[in-house]
Amino acid sequence: MNFGLTHDQEAIRDHVRALLDEVCSMAYVEQCDANAKPPREAFQALAKHGWLGLIAPQEYGGANGSPTDLAVLLEETGNHFEELGLWLFRSYTFGCYAILKNGTEAQKQFFVPKTVSGEFTYAFALTEPDSGSDAASLRTRADPDGDDHFIVNGRKQFISGMDIADYALVALRTNQQAKKQLGISTFLVDTKLPGIEVRRIKTLGQHSIGTTEVTFTDVRVPRSALLGELDKGWSICEDTLRYERLCLSAARIGAARRAFEFALDYAKNRTQFGKPIGSFQVIQHKFADMKIMLDTAQTMVRRYAWLMENGEAERADTAVLKYCVGETFKSISDTCLQVLGGYGYCNEYPIQRFFRDSRLATIGGGTSEIQKNIIAASLGL
């Protein structure tokens, strides 16, 4: 198991870094955060240079890249702006991975090239007001309307990026008699269909793209939007979440490293009692601890990508990765804010944004507590 980057992977990292240095500066990121503005210019720049096609096969305009290739790209993107990385991952996960693995050829031909070009962006609608950690107890329903359509009614909660997405992969109950996972189907729903109402939710962090509440009222969805088999969509949700967590973790370890680098530079230059604060052992030990956490978490990302490439990634491996990286990002952001002291608490310094954004890492996409449950169950407990 070799975690070193190949020449091509180093080229991915270097090219993406150079591009984002140009189109995704710290000032640009701060503007997006302050004005709740999606980083559309940076997103489209990546699309223009072909990076949205990284994992798609060549016949659909992609580069047929590996999970490790994707992790490298998202680490670098997250290092510039975590929310840009989270926007990108939705295209990779729901616009490419889920459709390529479960879609019909017609769906692949329609969606994947437009995803690669950046024309289509995506959201994932799973969580509901009464089904968060217990996601499979969802109630939003799709009832048949003749042979060619379904009528969708219900509500989804905490659906990130729904207000800027062209399509959403939506988990819906299609069999009311079946229990939990057995009656769920997945649909690729056009977000512009009549009857879809999207409301932006004010949150502590993630201001640029953010999250939403979605209400479906008699939304008429064509049967051709069904992804996979009817009533067998839960396995698609679980599989897609495993891929999602690789992407989330890669972007977040990049963001954690940027916070660390900013605080490290501050510690080397901020003087108190006549010398840099980085010369005090209490500060040095904070950075030693963070360095250990960063390297461990990045190794976990690369290990999980390797497991995916070799068909060996298990549910517990996903949980270990999600827990490790989420807690690392949260802890490092908190420690970096402490290093900056009062300046860390001021909005004119970026550390407060890392602190706010990192708090979602142990909640969204499966809480740290749920990850521990999964890990414990894998041990026979």
pLDDT band at 178 (very low <50, low <70, confident <90, very high): confident
> What CATH architecture is 7-120?
Orthogonal Bundle (1.10)
Domain spanning 235-378 has what CATH number? 1.20.140.10
CATH number (2.40.30.10, 2.40.110.10, 2.60.40.1120, 3.30.70.20) of 124-231 reads 2.40.110.10
pLDDT band at 372 (very low <50, low <70, confident <90, very high): very high
Q: What pLDDT, in 10s, does the model give residues 115-150?
A: 999 999 999 999 999 998 999 999 999 999 999 999
pLDDT of residue 335: 98
pLDDT of residue 180: 84
Among 174-188, 238-252, 287-301, name the one with the lowest average pLDDT.
174-188
Q: Where are the domains of the chain?
A: 7-120, 124-231, 235-378
pLDDT band at 3 (very low <50, low <70, confident <90, very high): confident
Q: What pLDDT, in 10s, does the model give residues 305-334?
A: 999 999 999 999 999 999 999 999 999 999
pLDDT of residue 70: 98
How confident is the model over 92-120, as a mean pLDDT?
A: 98
How confident is the model over 372-381, as a mean pLDDT?
A: 97
pLDDT of residue 2: 76
Dig out the tokens for 104 from the structure: 């019909």
Per residue, the 3-state secondary structure of 89-128, as one string, reads: HHHHHHHHHHHHHHCCHHHHHHHHHHHHCCCCCEEEECCE
Q: What pLDDT, in 10s, does the model give residues 222-281?
A: 999 999 999 999 999 999 999 999 999 999 999 999 999 999 999 999 999 999 999 999
pLDDT of residue 250: 98
* CB proximity list for 207: less than 8 A, separation 6 or greater: 32, 33, 34, 36
pLDDT of residue 342: 97
CB atoms within 10 A of CB 74: 29
Identical fold for domains 7-120 and 124-231, yes or no, is no
Q: What pLDDT, in 10s, does the model give residues 155-167?
A: 999 999 999 999 9
- Whether the pLDDT of residue 177 is over 90: the answer is no
Whether the Cβ atoms of residue 304 and residue 231 lie closer than 8 Å to each other? no
Query: Which 8-state DSSP code applies to residue 345?
Result: T
Strands 271-272 and 184-190: unpaired
* 204 vs 193: CA distance, rounded Å: 30
**pTM score:** 0.96
Percent of the residues in the chain that have a pLDDT greater than 90, as a whole number: 97
pLDDT of residue 317: 97
- Whether the pLDDT of residue 5 is over 90: the answer is yes
CB atoms within 10 A of CB 146: 8
| Nearest alpha-carbon partner for 90 in 244, 252, 235, 267 | 244
177 versus 111: which is more confidently predicted? Answer: 111
Q: What pLDDT, in 10s, does the model give residues 46-66?
A: 999 999 999 999 999 999 999
Dig out the tokens for 374 from the structure: 């999964």
| Nearest alpha-carbon partner for 267 in 340, 355, 348 | 340
Round the average pLDDT of the chain to a whole number and report it: 97
pLDDT of residue 77: 98
Q: What pLDDT, in 10s, does the model give residues 18-29?
A: 999 999 999 999
Query: Which 8-state DSSP code applies to residue 248?
Result: H
